[in-house]
Amino acid sequence: MISDIKNHLENAIIPFWKGLRDDEFGGYYGYMDFDTLTVDKKYVKGCILHSRILWFFSNAYMLLKDESLKSEADHAFEFITKNCLDKENGGIYWAVNYDGSLNDSLKHTYNQAFCIYAMSSYYDATGNKEALNIAYDLYNLIETKCRDEDGYLEAFTKDFKTAPNDELSENGVMADRTMNTLLHVLEAYTELYRVDGNSKVADSLRAIMDIFMAHMYNPTLKRQDVFFDLDYNSLIDLHSYGHDIETSWLMDRALEVLDDEEYTKKLTPITKDLAAKVFDVAFDGRSLANECERGVVDTKRVWWVQAETVVGFVNAYQKSGDEKYLKAAGACWNYIKDVIVDKRAGSEWLSEVDASGLPLTKKPIVEPWKCPYHNGRMCMEIIKRGIE
């Protein structure tokens, strides 16, 4: 599996995203349509997209030692620092226009977290202290402006007044707190702690794990709940298969980096249960369904869910030794190659397909949420884990 995935990373994903580099206005083009694979050079440039691209090229450079990848990371870093960061109020915006001018000044905790994630990795890759300073500025901002005494909040105006959480609320609810935001704050703080070892960040990781155990994880159903009000009342009966398999390995990574025996003992049984539950109820032998809402399964196959399935099942195999997970990861990778990877020249992964493997809604190949983060990370994780 390693050689196959490494080939896909080097000869498909990396060249595709290099090809979206904008050398006129900076950053990377934000949209490619499905039907004609046409790039819209004047589409908005999402700041999450750019943080994820910075993270991707930084990590690809560290893994492959190709100087051209450092050049791409430098390019993304320059665009973010010049255009996406609010020099007056702090934080990173939601989106800028194609030329770098401001498009959407929303400040979202999820978005701040991804910039921390990216800046931490870029610092690790290059030693650029400015990136580490930005990561800490955003960490302090989240801890002082994006949370209350009970945990993390979601959306804010430019000057950090509470705003409706339209961007991360789905399924007909408007959430005051989400599992998804907490997960990616955890992910960001894990990377920041990994590269710099600050004890304050370690304490924040423990606090996030406490929230996860107290409110996100449902021990009766052995899954996470997704959307909550301010008092952590779950707003909907929803099992997000992709987020659960992603959480299973991201939490294990956080535990590994934190290296706290007490938290490892408390949380490892939960991460094992998350992976086992997803395997039992959502995996069909080749791929993972999307989610289950109020007992009704959404059977579409989404690109990022399949990527996280490969990593999550490899992680479950490494933690448990159970060969069924390794077999499942290999089967899902074959499904990705057969169905999710777009065979048309100049394309990348399809966004989603129906249960039979046909493109479902013809969603764009590139848009503000469609980036080399999940699939690129899958490739790099499998290579680094040494799984054949």
DSSP of 76-134, one letter per residue? HHHHIIIIIB-TTT-SB-SEE-TTS-EEE--EEHHHHHHHHHHHHHHHHHH--HHHHHH
CB 61 within 8 A of CB 133: no
The DSSP element (H or E) to which 36 belongs, if any, is none
Q: How far apart are CA 43 and CA 272, in angstroms?
A: 42
Q: Which two tokens stand for residue 86?
A: 């609010």
Instruction: Tell me the domains of the chain and their CATH numbers.
Output: 2-385 (1.50.10.10)
Amino acid at 243: H
Return the sign of the alpha-carbon dihedral for residues 243, 30, 333, 339. positive
DSSP-derived letter for residue 26 is S
Q: How far apart are CA 66 and CA 56, in angstroms?
A: 13
Q: Report the C-alpha gap between 303 and 352 in whole angstroms.
A: 6
Q: Count other Cβ atoms within 10 Å, centred on residue 56.
A: 28
Q: Residue 255: CB partners within 8 Å, gap ≥ 6?
A: 263, 264, 267, 268, 271
Instruction: State the Cα–Cα distance between residues 151 and 207, nearest whole angstrom.
Output: 9
Q: Residue 361's pLDDT is what?
A: 79
Closest to 184 (Cα-Cα) out of 270, 257, 113, 267: 113
Question: What is the rounded distance in angstroms from the CA atom of residue 46 to the CA atom of residue 364?
Answer: 14
Q: What is the pLDDT along the chain (388 residues), one digit of tens a residue?
A: 899 999 999 999 999 999 999 999 999 999 999 999 999 999 999 999 999 999 999 999 999 999 999 999 999 999 999 999 999 999 999 999 999 999 999 999 999 999 999 999 999 999 999 999 999 999 999 999 999 999 999 999 999 999 999 999 999 999 999 999 999 999 999 999 999 999 999 999 999 999 999 999 999 999 999 999 999 999 999 999 999 999 999 999 999 999 999 999 999 999 999 999 999 999 999 999 999 999 999 999 999 999 999 999 999 999 999 999 999 999 999 999 999 999 999 999 999 999 999 997 789 999 999 999 999 999 999 999 997 7
pLDDT for residue 360: 78
CA 56 to chain centre: 11
Closest by CA position to 228, among listed 179, 187, 155: 179
Neighbour tally for 297: CB within 10 Å: 15
- pLDDT attached to residue 283: 98
Query: CB–CB of 242/302 below 8 Å?
Result: yes
Alpha helices in 197-302, H assignment, sequence order: 199-211, 241-258, 261-282
Number of residues written out for the chain = 388
> Distance (Å, rounded) from C-alpha 344 to C-alpha 326?
29
Which tokens sit at 110?
A: 């999820």
- Cβ atoms of 329 and 309 within 8 Å: the answer is yes
